Chains A and B, each alone.
Chain A
Amino acid sequence: MGKGPSGQQLLKTALKVFREELLPELTEKKRYSGLMVANALGILTRQLNRNVDDQVQEESALVLLLEEQGSIESLHRLFAKRIRNGDFMTYSKTSIGAWEVLFKITQANVEESNPKYLEE
């Protein structure tokens, strides 16, 4: 006997009920709040579904680029510091690589926050 639906599955079903059954019933005044709740639940669903490998890949790309070890947050902090110091703003292989790493990380964040944006 399994443990029943996972958190992700429950959330997916709850979001479907909210969007299809509850949201249309809300008054005009409450609709904006309803849309915000649906948006937040959608983001949470995508966060829970995010592949763990993606985070490992992000960390590896940063370690390779910055030649430093550390947590994702400390690597982001170091990356931000080096960008401000001007380490990547000359036309070079490293700068292009830095832009590509940053673009890939940001694209993954957009996929989580607002995937429709990538279709526009």
Chain B
Amino acid sequence: MIKDWPEKLQAFLENRVGYSVFVSEPSQLSGGAIQENWAIDITVAGGEWSGFHQLVLRSDAMSSVKASRSRIEEFALINQANKAGVLVPKPYFLCDDEAILGRPFFLMERLDGMAAGHKLARGEENPELLYQLGKNLALIHSITPPKCELSFLHDVPKDPAKEAIALYREFLDALQEPHPAIEWGLRWLEVNVRPADGVVLCHRDFRTGNLLVKNGVLAGVLDWEFAGWSDPHEDIFWFTAKCWRFGANHRPAGGLGQREDFYRGYEENAGRKINRELQVYWEVMAHVRWATIACQQAERNTLGIENSLELALTGHVVPELELEILSLTKEI
């Protein structure tokens, strides 16, 4: 961020609301290797925004990965999700003028709750929460193409799985080191490919860790930076993939509980059945995708683009993802 940015933010807000605004000292929130999140309180002197508001300012961080969306696009995605009834932080102000803070940013409602995956996975099993998560995923999937407000999204894929395989190979080719275990997963996905079961808006990172929970109840779906058109099963089985259970493997639904509670919430609200036969296929895809992204993040550190211990350690997550890919694909 550029120097004196809280003052510049104040000027931006005063211009937008038409009244004087007091901006509190910003405090950086944890998480987000790809973007920065700051907690900010504002007090507005009058008009429709009159009063005290707790907000989150979200901007790009130094690091980025190739599949990540800009903050401008993410703002539009949260807006659409909000309109579709998905529990999300309400998006308030977008600024694409880099003269203000040095990079684009947006401000959204600051919801109360906890997202930390390892803590949530240690709590009580929670079938009601899983039902809500299934329901909210169904609401996200109710957004279907074409959608002019989301015209920045890539073309609607005819065959999301095939296009994903091609994209991840492209990502692997750009890396310095070879990754035979990920290649094994990709080849298996290619051989076992199944036709798409419809194309909808997918969050593409809907998993424990990106879901804000307060007192066991879903408060909001966060982190929309990877969203795009895809097969709904990509999201469903990303959530249940082993890599997002935070060690609670006896609870295959995100480390929070059982699959069927999540599926029930989804099916009762989506008006479509989940094809359970696609579970292994899309869980292999989930591990391949996360392994590829983790390799990209680690390489940013290795090549000296960004000196970050967090990114370096992300590279050490790759072997366990690869082991799961191999375990799931033993039967050729």
- Chain A interfacial positions (CB closer than 8 Å to B): 32-33, 36-37, 39-40, 43, 73, 76-77, 79-81, 83-84, 86, 88-91, 95, 99, 102-103, 105-107, 109-110, 112-114, 117, 120
Contacts and interface: CB of A to CB of B under 8 A. Distances in A.
Contacts of B326: 99, 102-103, 106
9 contacts: A36-B309, A40-B309, A40-B313, A79-B180, A80-B180, A80-B183, A83-B183, A84-B186, A102-B181
Nearest to A116: B247
B322 A106 contact: yes
Contacts of A106: 181, 319, 322-323, 326
Q: Name the residue among B172, B313, B318 with the largest chain A CB count within 10 angstroms.
A: B313
Contacts of B184: 83, 88, 99, 102
A76 B182 CA distance: 12
B247 A113 contact: no
Q: Interface extent on B, as a size class?
A: 20 to 34
Contact of B187 (A40, A89, A112, A120): A89
B158 interface: no
Interface in B298-327: 309-310, 312-313, 316-320, 322-323, 326
B123 interface: no
Contacts of A39: 313, 316
A113 B188 CA distance: 25
Given A95-B332, A106-B181, A120-B247, A84 B319 contact: no
B191 interface: yes
Interface in B162-189: 169, 172, 177-181, 183-184, 186-188
Given A76-B180, A83-B180, A36 B313 contact: yes
Interface string B185-216: 01110010000000000000000000000000
Interface in B12-32: 30
